[in-house]
Amino acid sequence: PQPTNMSTKDAQVEISQLQDELTDYGIAYYEQDAPKVEDHVYDEKYARLVALEQAFPQFVTPDSPTQNVGGAQTKSGLEKVQHPVPMLSLGDVFSLEELQEWENRTAKALGQQPSYNLELKIDGLAVSLKYDNGRLIQASTRGNGLIGEDVTANVKTIADVPQTLKEPLTIEVRGEIYMPKASFAHLNEERENQGQEPFANPRNAAAGSLRQLDARETKKRKLSAFIYYTAEADTLGVTKQSEVLRRFAELGLPTNKDNRVIGQMKDIAPYIAEYTEKRDGLPYGIDGVVVKVDDIDSEIDLGNTVKVPRWSIAYKFPPEEEQTIVRDIEWTV
Ligand code: NAD
């Protein structure tokens, strides 16, 4: 039933069930790197919980999955790291209509129509890298957004991540650690040969491989990285997200070159179509497109909720099975 047609009692029961169920899925996914259900199943239940909690805000609890950045910070043997600037999740939408609604809200809040930087949503896990005078001194996972895990030794084995920047800057940058499709296929084949459970997807494989206690094990897993964010754009001397990416490349940080600046949201449709088409052929997994307000002062004006930035949104591709079905139908017609 629609949340608006439900009795308070029924809503309370369903909200509580969904909160428990999603928390349980989150533990399997983030802490054990072994999801119990497909992402789209999780996403649908999550969307239902959001709708119910909106209609019945009295049942939103501080520990609801909607109020917390999901992530592990508990692996024994890995030190905890506090993030002075929280590492957030992203709000997500699944259609162009929802993107348009998000743009309407964003433009209204800003009082003007912003430009956007479009980026691919890399299917990996977020990492924070601290450079001191140009030298990599710490790497950590997102964890629950406030406290992550120290993975410095592990990240130092990743060839793409420079140990030294080309300029002696002191800056914290963030990005995605991912496992290229080829490494993923190879790793799973090896695991199956050894009678181990294969990883469900490259993201879980990347997370499992990064969160190793022995960095030599991480090194064998052939991880890569794309860096896409800093809260310290002023250190780079720029005012736009698209310029941040350009400066990262100048510093020798790995960046994804497929970003595109658009002047209005309707220009996103060809980008989504292009990468829906190119997706299978890319050497790494992507699960959507991330839209970011390009002007950094506007980002700061918009700010964040407890869980997600208001200046960015993820458009998620439909699950792969559905795409196959669409292709099959076209094929038979
Ligand atoms: P998310 O992965 O949907 O989006 C946020 C993340 O996107 C960021 O933290 C960052 O790591 C990443 N990202 C990739 N490219 C980026 C770019 N260019 N710019 C900015 N960020 C970029 O959100 P989440 O909170 O990490 O995870 C929630 C998702 O995880 C759910 O939507 C679900 O699909 C999945 N999940 C699945 C299960 C399951 O049981 N299958 C359980 C929990 C979560």
The tally of CA atoms less than 13 A away on the side-chain side of residue 81 is 21
* pLDDT reported for residue 75: 77
Residue 140 CB partners (closer than 8 Å, separation 6+): 81, 83, 127, 128, 148, 149, 150, 151, 152
Percentage helix, strand, coil, to 5, in the chain? 45, 20, 35
Which residue owns the Cα nearest ligand 1 atom 30? Answer: 39
**Amino acid code (one letter) for 173:** V
CA separation for the pair 162, 164 (Å, rounded): 5
* Ligand 1 near 70 CB (within 6 A): yes
Half-sphere exposure of 196 (CA within 13 A, CB side): 11
Return the residue whose CA atom lies nearest to atom 17 of ligand 1: 121
- Establish whether 121 is a catalytic residue: yes
Reported as type and span, the H/E element at residue 292 is strand 286-293
Q: How many CB atoms lie within 10 A of CB 180?
A: 18
CA of 269 to the centre of ligand 1 (A): 22
The Cα–Cα gap between 68 and 308 comes to: 9
Please give the distance, rounded to the nearest whole angstrom, from the Cα atom of residue 217 to the centre of ligand 1: 24
Q: What is the pTM of this model?
A: 0.93
Measure the CA–CA gap between 171 and 173, rounded to whole angstroms.
Answer: 6
Q: Is the CB of 126 under 6 A from ligand 1?
A: yes
Distance 333 CA to ligand 1 centre (A): 35
Q: Which residue bears the tokens 């996914």?
A: 29
Ligand 1 within 6 A of CB of 53: no
CA angle 231, 232, 235 (to 5 degrees): 170
Distance CA 308, CA 89 (A): 5
Query: For residue 229, which amino acid is it?
Result: Y
**Residue to mutate, 21, 38, 39, ligand 1, most ligand atoms under 8 Å from C-beta:** 39
For residue 99, give the 3-state DSSP assignment: helix
Q: Whose CA is nearest to atom 25 of ligand 1?
A: 89
Nearest CA to 316 among 263, 264, 279?
279
8 Å CB contact between 61 and 19? yes
Phi then psi for residue 127, to 5 deg, are -135, 150
Nearest CA to ligand 1 atom 3: 90
Return all residues near 135 (Cβ < 8 A) that are at least 6 apart: 163, 164, 165
Residues, the chain: 333
Is 89 a pocket residue for ligand 1 (Cβ < 6 Å)?
yes
Residue of minimum CA distance from atom 37 in ligand 1: 39
* Set 121, 156, 257, 292: catalytic member: 121
State the pLDDT at residue 327: 40
Going by CA atoms, what residue is nearest to atom 22 of ligand 1? 121
Asked whether the CA dihedral 116, 118, 121, 126 is positive or negative, the reply is negative
CB-based contacts of 22, cutoff 8 Å, min separation 6: 42, 45, 46, 49, 65
Which atom of ligand 1 is closest in space to residue 87's alpha carbon?
9
**pLDDT confidence of residue 321:** 57
Is the CB of residue 90 below 6 angstroms from any atom belonging to ligand 1? yes
Report the separation in Å between the CA atom of 304 and the middle of ligand 1, taken as the mean of its atom positions: 16
So what's the ipTM on this one? 0.97
Between the CA of residue 5 and those of 15, 16, 18, 199, 272, what are the distances in Å?
15, 18, 18, 41, 35
The tens-digit pLDDT sequence of the chain (333 residues) is 899 899 999 999 999 999 999 999 999 999 888 999 999 999 999 999 999 999 999 999 999 999 999 887 777 789 999 999 999 999 999 999 999 999 999 999 999 999 999 999 999 999 999 999 999 999 999 999 999 999 999 999 999 999 999 999 999 999 999 999 999 999 999 999 999 999 999 999 999 999 999 999 999 999 999 999 999 999 999 999 999 999 999 999 999 999 999 999 999 999 999 999 999 999 999 999 999 999 999 999 999 999 999 999 999 999 865 444 444 433 332
Q: pLDDT value at position 332?
A: 32
Q: Identify any residues that bridge with 304 across adjacent strands, giving them in sequence order.
A: 309
Cβ atoms within 10 Å of 65's Cβ, excluding its own? 23
Which residues touch 41 (CB under 8 Å, ≥6 apart)? none
